[in-house]
Structure 1
């Protein structure tokens, strides 16, 4: 299990180092996750070995939201003074995210449909 956690954290570290070194706009953990996915596709045995540890982490994912909740409570004054604009931004960004997700899904479905049928 420790080795599997080391693999996950190593790819996050690699992503952070690449992002900061190259000045990329992509967050380090996101880049690390993409690199981890590529590694898993190239070496499926590692993906199978890491799967139980990753599933265990995901089952306790809700614990990672506790610091965010504490941060919101700690800054209730900011939330109170800027509540309206923050709520508007949250609603608009959620709607945009859903729309973009639907458009991407539709585009991928069409691509896959063309390849399968054509």
Structure 2
């Protein structure tokens, strides 16, 4: 029953996000807004509750199943992927490299910022 309550809660947040996006014509997906609303709720409450924990752990334990549709899509459009392999490969390689460079830069900037700050022990 805990799992069902948790899934229901997740779906309610997704529904609220979807309705809000459609009512106000927002340029973001409804589930993303629902996730932001759920995050804000969790930050305010400072805990998640047993039902939500049970549902989240259940979904995470079967996360690999969510990759099946992507794999099917790749097989359906395999000929197109073969035709467009160069832009796809370049975007993957460059996107990964840019992400790694930006992450390393953010880490170095944070380390320098923290090193300049006087330590307060106690």
TM-score range, shorter chain: 0.7 to 0.9
Please name the residue that 1:69 is paired with: 71
TM-score of the pair, normalised by structure 2: 0.75
Please name the residue that 1:52 is paired with: 54
Report the structure number with the largest CA radius of gyration: 2
Please name the residue that 2:7 is paired with: 5
TM-score of the pair, normalised by structure 1: 0.77
Equivalenced residue count is 117
Which sections of structure 1, spanning at least 5 residues, go unmatched?
A: none
Task: Give CA-to-partner distance per residue, 1:47-98, whole Å, 9 cap, x none.
Answer: 1321122011111111000000000000011001111111111222222333
Please name the residue that 1:83 is paired with: 85
Q: Please give the alpha-carbon distance, in whole angstroms, between the structure 1 residues aligned to 2:110 and 2:30.
A: 26
Q: Please give the alpha-carbon distance, in whole angstroms, between the structure 1 residues aligned to 2:118 and 2:24.
A: 39
Please name the residue that 2:19 is paired with: 17
Is the helix fraction higher in 1 or 2? 1
Greater relative contact order (Cα 8 A, min sep 6): structure 1 or 2?
A: 2
Aligned pair in 2 of structure 1 residues 28, 86: CA closer, same or farther (>3 Å)? Answer: same
Aligned pair in 2 of structure 1 residues 18, 98: CA closer, same or farther (>3 Å)? Answer: farther
> Does the 8 Å contact 2:14/2:35 carry over to 1?
yes
| Superposed displacement of residue 41, structure 1 | 1.7
3-state SS of 1:24 partner: coil
